[in-house]
Copies of this chain bind each other. A is one copy, B any other.
Amino acid sequence: MKKGKISDLAIRRLPEYLQYLRKLQRIHVKYVSAPEIERQFGIHQTQIRKDLALTGLKGKVKVGHVVDDAIDAILHFLGWDVKLSAFIVGAGNLGSSLAGYSDLNYSGINIISLFDDNPNVIGRNIQGLPVFDVNELDYYAKKFNPKIGILTTPQEVAQDCADKLIKANIKAIWNFTTIQLAVPEDVVILTTCLCSDLAVITHRMKDLSDLKVKNQDIQNANQKI
């Protein structure tokens, strides 16, 4: 079973298809074809076929793919058919908003609770979830067996909290801080850097306005002629 390393780019596209497939499911559409998805996303149909093939899904010639099956295949492939328990460490604004971010609950995780070191927050409820003392993380980890730790603390305590999660036998850390975390190699780590997204936006804006200036120049030049 030689399995070529699967690209993160493909993995990232699957939840987008999933979104669309669920929309189709809600309006009781039974089949969807790659050319249809291409129209939706502007992604080349060959790529869509390859992405879907990754999940093991088979299509029907002239018909496309069964929407329900496609959803199941993607969920299974991503590991979202088994809900993994998650802890959020850092019950600040970001942590609180992720706790209530319903999109995540449609995906592969089940957020159990939040943790913080602020006595004013510990014991309260956020988005219907309890906030526990981060120093009792180990205790609650034994109780709930979380697989994913979502790290939304201030920078200063990020590595320390990551260590606590690792000690509690967590399998993956989703890092929302800008710290370069040190983790053992059997712990999956992914850092979400919103600043990178913003960089893409501002850079494209600069490009657009440069283009405008350039067009202006061309216009001016034409006027001179």
Residues of A within 8 A of B (CB): 6, 8, 11-16, 18-20, 40-41, 77-80, 84, 92-94, 96-97, 99-101, 103-104, 106-109, 127, 147-148, 171-172, 174, 178, 180, 186, 188, 190, 192-206, 208
Q: Can you report 25 residue pairs joining A to B where beta carbons are below 8 Å apart?
A: A12-B196, A12-B200, A15-B199, A19-B178, A40-B180, A79-B203, A80-B202, A84-B202, A92-B100, A93-B97, A93-B100, A93-B101, A101-B194, A103-B194, A103-B195, A104-B194, A106-B195, A107-B195, A171-B208, A172-B201, A172-B204, A174-B197, A174-B198, A188-B208, A192-B194
With A and B bound together, what is the CA distance between A190 and B204 in angstroms?
10
Are B109 and A198 in contact, CB atoms less than 8 angstroms apart? yes
Of all chain B residues, the one with the shortest Cβ separation from A5 is B207
Count this chain's copies in the assembly: 2
Are A205 and B77 in contact, CB atoms less than 8 angstroms apart? no
